[in-house]
Amino acid sequence: MSLLSVRDLTVKFAMRDQTVTALNGISFDLAKGERLGIVGESGAGKSITGFSLMNLLSRPGYIDTGKILFEGEDVVQMNDKRLRNLRGNRMAMIFQDPMVTLNPVLTIGQQMIETLMAHRKLSHEEARQIAIVKLREVYIPSPEERLEQYPHELSGGMRQRIIIAIALLLDPQLIIADEPTTALDVTIQADIMELMLELCQSNQVGLILITHDLGVVSQMTERTLVMYAGRIIEAGRTREIINDPQHPYTQGLINALPQQTVPGQRLKQIPGNMPGLASIPEGCAFNPRCKYATDLCRSRIPEIVHYGEVEVACHEVQRLNSDEDRQEARA
Amino acid sequence: MFAYLAKRVIQAVAVMFVISLIAFAIQGNLGDPLRELVGQSVSEEVRQQLRDEMGLNDSFVTQYLRFAGNALQGDLGTSYFFKEPALDVILKKLPATLELVFGATLIIVGFSVPLGVYTAIKPDSILSRIIMGLSIIGISIPVFLTAILMIFVFSVEYGWFPSYGRGDTVHVWGYWETNFATADGWLHIILPSIALASIMLPLFVRLIRAEMMEVLQSEYVKYAKAKGINPWRIYFVHALKNTLLPVITVGGVQIGTMVAYTILTETVFQWPGMGFMFLEAVNRVDTPLIVAYLIVVGFIFVVTNTIVDLIYGLVNPTVNIARMGA
């Protein structure tokens, strides 16, 4: 049985004058200890997917239909008490910006110890000892002193390590990391990623890594979902998706990487912008930006189907793989 | 710590200097003190002589320096009416006013936090809407009208509370006269306290609500939820502490303002405090008493604000008082 099984998840936002669909029929599975990347542009629904898994959407967003089976139990149906037991305990989350994630008026110790004591019957001192052990695991120097400090006394990288330590406090089955290094210096980004990889592997923790950085995905994850305008458009093993992307959007993303371009040349960008949730075009949401789009693409939403090693939602994937087009796409 | 304190004290002294200058400047524009002091039968020559003796013909600077020098030694002049040192007159009235402000503060603190937090957590509930509606009414009605309405309803119609005065008071520590030692004293202070609180309380409910709603949208509150923390702990530890930081700053200034508002409340309730005394002093053109009142109220303002700044430093870890002052 898989650790996490998401089926047909649809999330809507009730705005003042209309209701928009932010996630549309998302389905995927995650095995125990597996690391999954979710990539896509801003607004594709990556973060909303992450928050939905914990049932943490705040108004006006809500889960409309679908199931999120975590260890066999549907997160969507859980009552508040079950949800509290889930959050931070069996499923932990690492937020994007460590500068605003920790509460500025509480010490690191308070914020770690409260998490432990919310889920386990521990004395304050026992909780403190666990916190110190976990801070050591994320290579925080002199953890006893850190516990007495406030967030503003620590650097961004240090804070994100502490947030990783908090995520690991209760030995969860799954960690959801929502762009955990976007707000950090490039030099620290690699350290944090390496640390997360190491800890996930050694503790057999499942990881869902939400990012727009394909390089990070290829380094950190075993499988990848590519999202566009609230749908999964390509899914499969990370190696396959990076080396042999099938969907024109994924191809565009990979071609846009600086490594794919000769120095001095312009980066190959995908023309246009992702549509807003209120104005998703008919048919395949990507069709206005896609050079292979046909009338079919403009009228019918493609199903996600197995194609070779991956799953892909594209009407034209067959034609795309015929030799000449293939060459063109690769150019 | 010391550097910070020293800086605050220097600021306070500068503010007091300006206040004393303004208060003193008012003195010269409130009419001729001799007209109050001597009868009409005194000849112009004697008047001139008296002016010379009293130093009224000296330059403004000389007069101010003399005034400031005396003030520093605790001498704010002598009340024309009471024939006593003005400061003594005020200090006798001070306990009544401070107890009234204290009563109002208790009401404000006791009600604004729960009401503010509740209306922030449940903004759409009917009770929240009622509270917010009442708060608008509270802010809009002037203090003296609230006071008169309350006297009409609770003293005249129902006779539950007395309508004027302090009632039975008890002297403690030899000097301080308190309302809080007898049941009659309690009865007397309730209506004036509510009247004085009637503008500040709704203001604070709205302030706490607005701050709290903003804090509840913050990342760290979302993160606390993601850690599975109990909602009550999120509201009262994670959110409220952050909410109170700006509230403390505003609150400190408002306590000073409340001392000034007591003029209205005390007058309506015939409360024998500083505010009532001030109004009487104005009627009697008791210039030294007016000036002394302005200086004492200014002093209370400066002291409360300084204390509030220090408390803010203690509550907000990002302001480190020990290391500040550079």
ipTM given for this complex: 0.89
Residues B228, A95: C-beta atoms closer than 8 Å: no
Nearest to B316 among A88, A101, A105 (CB): A105
CA dist., res. A214 & res. A187, Å (int): 17
Strand A223-228 to A231-237 pairing? antiparallel
Residues of A with Cβ-Cβ distance to B232 under 8 angstroms: none
Average confidence (pLDDT) over A99-124: 93
Edge-to-edge strand list for the sheet holding A91-94: A91-94, A174-178, A206-211, A35-39, A223-228, A231-237, A310-312, A305-307
* pLDDT tens digit sequence for B166-200: 776 777 776 777 777 777 778 788 888 888 888 88
* pLDDT tens digit sequence for B72-109: 888 888 887 888 888 888 888 888 888 888 899 899 98
Strand A231-237 to A310-312 pairing? antiparallel
Beta carbons of A45 and A23 less than 8 angstroms apart: yes
* Residues contacting B127, CB < 8 A, separation 6+: B118
Nearest to A56 among B225, B245, B315 (CB): B225
Encoded amino acid at B228, one letter: G
Average confidence (pLDDT) over A143-168: 92
Beta carbons of A129 and A152 less than 8 angstroms apart: no
Beta carbons of B253 and B160 less than 8 angstroms apart: no
pTM of the model: 0.81
How confident is the model at residue A167, as a pLDDT?
Answer: 92
Distance from CA of B326 to the nearest CA of A (A): 18
* pLDDT tens digit sequence for A239-286: 999 888 888 899 888 888 887 777 778 788 888 888 888 888 888 888
pLDDT tens digits, chain B, 326 residues: what are they? Answer: 677 778 888 888 899 899 888 888 887 777 666 666 666 677 778 878 877 777 777 778 888 888 888 888 888 888 878 888 888 888 888 888 888 888 998 999 899 999 999 999 998 899 999 999 999 988 888 888 888 888 888 888 887 888 777 776 777 776 777 777 777 778 788 888 888 888 889 999 999 999 999 999 999 999 999 999 999 999 999 999 889 888 888 887 787 788 878 888 888 888 888 888 998 888 888 888 888 898 888 888 888 888 887 777 777 777 665 554 43
* Residues contacting A153, CB < 8 A, separation 6+: none
How confident is the model at residue B157, as a pLDDT?
Answer: 83
* pLDDT tens digit sequence for B288-311: 888 889 888 888 888 888 888 777
CA dist., res. B140 & res. B31, Å (int): 36
Nearest to B241 among A56, A93, A105 (CB): A105
Beta carbons of B227 and B137 less than 8 angstroms apart: no
Residues of A with Cβ-Cβ distance to B317 under 8 angstroms: 104-105, 107, 150, 152
Beta carbons of B228 and A86 less than 8 angstroms apart: yes
Nearest CA in chain A to B312: A105
- Other beta carbons within 10 Å of A144: 11
- Other beta carbons within 10 Å of B231: 13
